[in-house]
Amino acid sequence: MKKFDVVFIGSGHANWHAAVELQRAGKKVAIVEKDLIAGTCTNYGCNAKILLDGAADLIHQANAYEGFGIKGNLQIDWKELMAYKKATINPIHLLLEQQFKAVGIEIFNGTARFLDAHSISVGENRISATDFIIGTGQKPNRLPVEGNEFLHDSRDFLDLSELPKHMTFIGAGIVSLEFAMLVKTAGAEVTVIEFAAGALRGFNQKYVDSLLQQMEKMGIKIHFNEAVQKIQQNETNGLSVVTASGLEVKTNYIVDATGRIPNIDELDLKAAGVEFNRGGIIVDNHLQTNISHIYASGDVIDKKIPRLTPTATFESNYLAKLLLGETSEAIEYPAIASVVFTLPRIAQVGISELEIKEKEDQYLIKTIPYGSRLRFQTKNEPEAEATLIFDQDSYLVGASVYGDEAPELINFLAIIIGQKLTQSELNKQIFAFPSQTIGLLSMLTPYLRKFK
């Protein structure tokens, strides 16, 4: 049996940052990975998505200048775009694997299964460790309906060699809306089917409504309150999505974007005595399971905070410090910024309007229509807007943004929230002009606390 100080199950962002740090600090470290090194985000998630999105975003921004100086139509060549994505993304896991091995980490390719609380099997290998960290993430949910063998997940979509004529997305969450707008811009006909009455639950619904109007303006058909009943082949050799109400959508390709579930079914957690539920592995505020030497990190955890790559990285870095004895404090999350990479973007950070609905009298909520007021600093997007939430001490505690530059703006606002910056502190800085950041800042500071 091979023995290690720390064994990481999974090699995504939830694990590899800590693995490298611990190995460099002198620990004997192993990583177990049954798929590509570096996990979902790196290989078939956010990185791949944003490369494809870049072309659609460029067209979206160019369209804003139609009649204002830009003529002619830009078009996406899907095959060329996908080739670019593959050329950029495919080598990354190999480069990271080389880096892991270069620092001395031993890698086991295969499925990890707990034999007991102190050892696992990976194929023919038996491995024990002083500490285990589980970072196996989540996997796509599969809709339990007749004909679900015709459904594709996000990984399939991000490797799609040819663009189908018509695509249907089941679900109206982040993945579905991002992909729907991408392929519509690329030339496909698109339908979205959602069981619930609305989309993007948890995000600023005013901005979600604006986004849905934009999608419909593009020609995307959206059906709410529709429960998918079955998928079947139709008379044209295509597919049909049939709902309980009788709606039938004829299509060529269907993406099941109904959510993700914890990737834990092959771990045999019961053999180790680790507690879990439908939401994932149960941990305390030190990311420790009920078994003191077994920890969990990233999306596999049962948690309420956003399941994002930066969150997983934050947890991984925390665990490195914890296991090296550099901290004994509980993990403390900052305000977490999140973005929906639609066209335009929606972003948010900190406290939301939904969270303070019952206590709005304790906060100041300001709507900043920066797109219409700062035409020379934006890219002709008069609809761009920010909603800012201040507490009773006039500190910024929450924000949501609707606009093309929302990802950059929300990161700047996250710093203001996290550092509790005041007018006087921001006024000590000289920012680049003209820019959306300084424009929004000029509208924000009058409401901000002057001094600490």
- Cα-to-chain-centroid distance, residue 296: 19
Check the annotation: does 57 bind a ligand: no
Q: In this predicted structure, what is the pLDDT of residue 128?
A: 98
Residue type, 278: R
Check the annotation: does 199 bind a ligand: no
Q: Which of 2, 30, 35 shows the shortest CA–CA distance to 16?
A: 30
How far lies 426's CA from each of 27, 419, 429, 444, in Å? 42, 11, 6, 11
Q: What is the mean pLDDT of residues 391-399?
A: 97
pLDDT (tens digit per residue) in 329-344: 999 999 999 999 999 9
Check the annotation: does 171 bind a ligand: yes
Q: What is the mean pLDDT of the chain?
A: 97
Residues 169 and 95 in one domain: no
Domain assignment present for residue 185? The answer is yes
Check the annotation: does 238 bind a ligand: no
Domain assignment present for residue 211? The answer is yes
Task: Give the tokens for residue 420.
Answer: 């509790």
Domain assignment present for residue 331? The answer is no
Domain assignment present for residue 452? The answer is no
Q: What is the mean pLDDT of residues 405-422?
A: 97
Check the annotation: does 180 bind a ligand: no
Residues 161 and 204 in one domain: yes
Q: Is the pTM of this model over 0.85?
A: yes
Residues 390 and 302 in one domain: no
Summary count for the chain: helices (H), strands (E):
14, 24
Residues 132 and 274 in one domain: yes
Residues 313 and 357 in one domain: no
> What percentage of the chain reaches a pLDDT higher than 70?
100
Q: In this predicted structure, what is the pLDDT of residue 333?
A: 98
CB 410 within 8 A of CB 399: yes
Domain assignment present for residue 288? The answer is yes
Check the annotation: does 104 bind a ligand: no
Q: In this predicted structure, what is the pLDDT of residue 373?
A: 87
Check the annotation: does 397 bind a ligand: no
Between 303 and 357, residue with greater pLDDT: 303
The residue segments making up the domain with residue 162 are 148-258
Q: In this predicted structure, what is the pLDDT of residue 415?
A: 98
For 24-51, give the DSSP string: HTT--EEEEESSSTTHHHHHHSHHHHHH
Residues 6 and 135 in one domain: yes
Check the annotation: does 194 bind a ligand: yes
Task: Give the tokens for residue 377.
Answer: 């600093």
Check the annotation: does 119 bind a ligand: no
Query: CA quadruple 127, 131, 132, 135: dihedral positive or negative?
Result: negative
Q: Is residue 402 scored above 80 in pLDDT?
A: yes
Domain assignment present for residue 69? The answer is yes
pLDDT (tens digit per residue) in 263-304: 999 999 999 999 999 999 999 999 999 999 999 999 999 999
Q: Which of 200, 231, 258 is the last residue of a domain?
A: 258
CB 370 within 8 A of CB 443: yes
CATH code for the domain of 351: 3.30.390.30
- Other C-beta atoms closer than 10 Å to the C-beta of 157 total 22
Domain assignment present for residue 330? The answer is no
Q: What is the mean pLDDT of residues 411-421?
A: 98
Q: In this predicted structure, what is the pLDDT of residue 360?
A: 87
Residues 392 and 405 in one domain: yes
pLDDT bin (cut points 50, 70, 90) of residue 417 is: very high
CATH code for the domain of 102: 3.50.50.60
pLDDT (tens digit per residue) in 83-112: 999 999 999 999 999 999 999 999 999 999
Q: What distance in Å separates the CA atoms of residue 191 and residue 218, rounded to the nearest whole number?
A: 11
Q: Which of 206, 225, 258 is the last residue of a domain?
A: 258
Residues 217 and 229 in one domain: yes
- Count of structural domains, the chain: 3
Check the annotation: does 177 bind a ligand: yes
Residues 35 and 59 in one domain: yes
Residues 381 and 254 in one domain: no
Q: Which of 203, 223, 258 is the last residue of a domain?
A: 258
Q: What distance in Å separates the CA atoms of residue 175 and residue 49, rounded to the nearest whole number?
A: 9
Residues 267 and 252 in one domain: no
Instruction: Characterize the bridge pairing of strands 29-33 and 106-109.
Output: parallel
Domain assignment present for residue 44? The answer is yes
CB 122 within 8 A of CB 267: no
Buried-state track 312-326, b at ≥16 Cβ within 10 A, e below 16: bbbbbebbbebbeee
Q: In this predicted structure, what is the pLDDT of residue 376?
A: 67
pLDDT (tens digit per residue) in 140-193: 999 999 999 999 999 999 999 999 999 999 999 999 999 999 999 999 999 999
Residues 228 and 283 in one domain: no
Q: Which of 251, 248, 198 shows the shortest CA–CA distance to 224?
A: 198
Check the annotation: does 175 bind a ligand: yes
pLDDT (tens digit per residue) in 432-448: 998 999 999 999 999 99
Question: Based on C-alpha coordinates, what's the Rg of the chain?
Answer: 24
